[in-house]
């Protein structure tokens, strides 16, 4: 959210901090510099028959430091949690040049994860690793509406002990992604689709198929447990962002909502956007089980924040948060009061003053008074 765009400031790149240590198989853990990409971490862990718990479509460009700064969650957040749960130690530099490290009993990770570079610059992290599963099964499921998708999500969480991901793809996003991937849309209709994946050390397809046979509101489903088949299904989720960019410059709103409010929020979203900017196109996808939706709106000019304001107020009305894994940055700073009480904002200010009293780190980010 423009958190890395300089505003009368010096840009500090950590891409040179790209040292990747040896894997500690006993822990298991891996030490990586802040500039190491997620793709490199995944490559190193694959060779050791291990895995890293966070995965993003932008794995080729996302870095360890950036993912900690935004507390990124990604497609496996349902199973493993966000970045703060994957970091078992770190090194960071404060605004005055002091070096701090994670110590027993001092939760530096909890303080810095999600702080968007406003408290310290993460330079290195020790990452917790997880098992690499030998079997996976993936299904793309069409349901009647988002209310049914929420019920199906709850059912999947209860019935599948090895559930690895539940991703939402609305019909417009599915059509765009399929066209970009050179695929036909597996099924058509106004309802959304769910991408459900299980992973374990035994064949998973029969267990997943049994769930689908009892899923409420299900219209159609396509399932696969082989590599090519699963990759085709995942392409319909991971290609969405690039696909949307082919039809215009989107306003990207990454928001969090209680699961019980998702259906009513989705029902109100279209009319809210239409009222703010008639003719705008809306694309919604995201990590449904976590209540994390990526709302993309194409139509308004890049500097027209009318739709942003309307959607974020709608999120607040439904008890949600205006930011999930993409952070606040500069772009959402003026709406920060929608999701945080004066007392919570005071805590943010206190932490900022304690660790960066001169305000030299990412000035204006996470600051509701900044423009």
Q: Residue range 109-125: average pLDDT?
A: 92
pLDDT above 70: percentage of residues in the chain: 96
CA distance 73 to 329: 17
Please give the pLDDT value at position 369.
60
DSSP state of 196: E
Q: Residue range 291-301: average pLDDT?
A: 96
Q: Which residues, 6 or more positions from 255, have their beta carbon under 8 angstroms from its beta carbon? A: 292, 293, 295, 311, 312, 315, 320, 321, 322, 323, 324
Q: Residue range 25-48: average pLDDT?
A: 95
- Using the predicted structure, report yes or no on whether residue 318 has a pLDDT greater than 90: yes
Q: Which of 163-172, 260-269, 283-292, 344-353 has the lowest mean pLDDT?
A: 344-353
Q: Per DSSP, what are the bridge partners of residue 91?
A: 101, 124
Please give the pLDDT value at position 259.
92
- Using the predicted structure, report yes or no on whether residue 103 has a pLDDT greater than 70: no
Q: Per DSSP, what are the bridge partners of residue 332?
A: none
- Where do the domains of the chain lie, and which CATH numbers do they carry? 29-131 (3.30.465.10), 135-241 (3.30.70.2190), 247-342 (3.30.70.2740)
Q: Residue range 309-334: average pLDDT?
A: 89
Do the beta carbons of residue 293 and residue 192 sit within 8 Å?
no
Please give the pLDDT value at position 1.
54
Burial class (CB in 10 A: 0-12, 13-18, 19+), 175: middle
Q: Which residues, 6 or more positions from 223, have their beta carbon under 8 angstroms from its beta carbon? A: 137, 138, 139, 140, 205, 208, 209, 212
Please give the pLDDT value at position 327.
79
Q: Which two tokens stand for residue 156?
A: 């999947």
pLDDT above 90: percentage of residues in the chain: 75
Reported as a single tens digit per residue, the pLDDT across 263-285 is 999 999 999 999 999 999 999 99
DSSP code string of 67-90: HHHHT---TTHHHH--HHHHEEEE
Reported as a single tens digit per residue, the pLDDT across 183-209 is 999 887 778 999 999 999 999 999 999
Q: How far is CA 51 from CA 39, 126, 133, 167, in A?
A: 11, 14, 9, 20
């Amino acid at each position: 959210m423009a958190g890395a765009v300089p505003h009368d400031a010096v840009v500090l790149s950590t891409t040179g901090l790209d040292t990747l240590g040896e894997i500690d198989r006993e822990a298991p853990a891996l030490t990586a510099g802040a500039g190491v990409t997620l793709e490199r971490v995944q490559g190193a862990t694959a060779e050791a028959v291990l895995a890293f718990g966070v995965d993003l479509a932008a794995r080729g460009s996302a870095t360890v430091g950036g993912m900690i700064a935004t507390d990124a969650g990604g497609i496996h957040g349902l199973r493993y949690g966000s970045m703060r749960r994957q970091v078992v130690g770190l090194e960071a530099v404060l605004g005055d040049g002091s070096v701090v490290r994670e110590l027993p009993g001092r939760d530096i990770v909890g303080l810095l994860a999600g702080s968007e570079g406003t408290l310290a610059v993460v330079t290195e992290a020790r990452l917790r690793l997880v098992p690499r599963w030998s079997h996976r099964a993936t299904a793309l499921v069409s349901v009647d509406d988002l209310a049914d998708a929420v019920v199906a999500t709850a059912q999947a969480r209860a019935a599948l002990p090895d559930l690895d991901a539940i991703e939402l793809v609305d019909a417009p996003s599915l059509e765009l992604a399929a066209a970009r991937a050179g695929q036909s849309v597996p099924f058509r209709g106004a309802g959304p689709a769910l991408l459900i994946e299980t992973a374990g050390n035994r064949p998973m397809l029969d267990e997943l198929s049994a769930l689908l046979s009892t899923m409420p509101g299900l219209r159609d489903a396509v399932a696969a447990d082989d590599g090519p088949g699963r990759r085709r299904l995942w392409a319909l989720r991971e290609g969405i962002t690039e696909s949307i960019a082919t039809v215009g410059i989107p306003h990207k709103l990454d928001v969090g909502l209680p699961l019980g409010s998702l259906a009513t929020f989705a029902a109100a979203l279209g009319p809210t956007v239409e009222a703010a900017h008639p003719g705008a196109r809306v694309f919604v996808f995201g990590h449904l089980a976590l209540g994390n939706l990526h709302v993309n709106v194409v139509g308004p000019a890049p500097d027209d924040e009318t739709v942003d304001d309307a959607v974020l107020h709608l999120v607040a009305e439904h008890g949600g948060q205006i930011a999930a894994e993409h952070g606040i940055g500069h772009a959402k700073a003026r709406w920060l009061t929608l999701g945080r009480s004066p007392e919570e904002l005071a805590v943010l200010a206190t932490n900022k003053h304690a660790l960066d009293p001169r305000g030299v780190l990412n000035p204006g980010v996470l600051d509701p008074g900044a423009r």
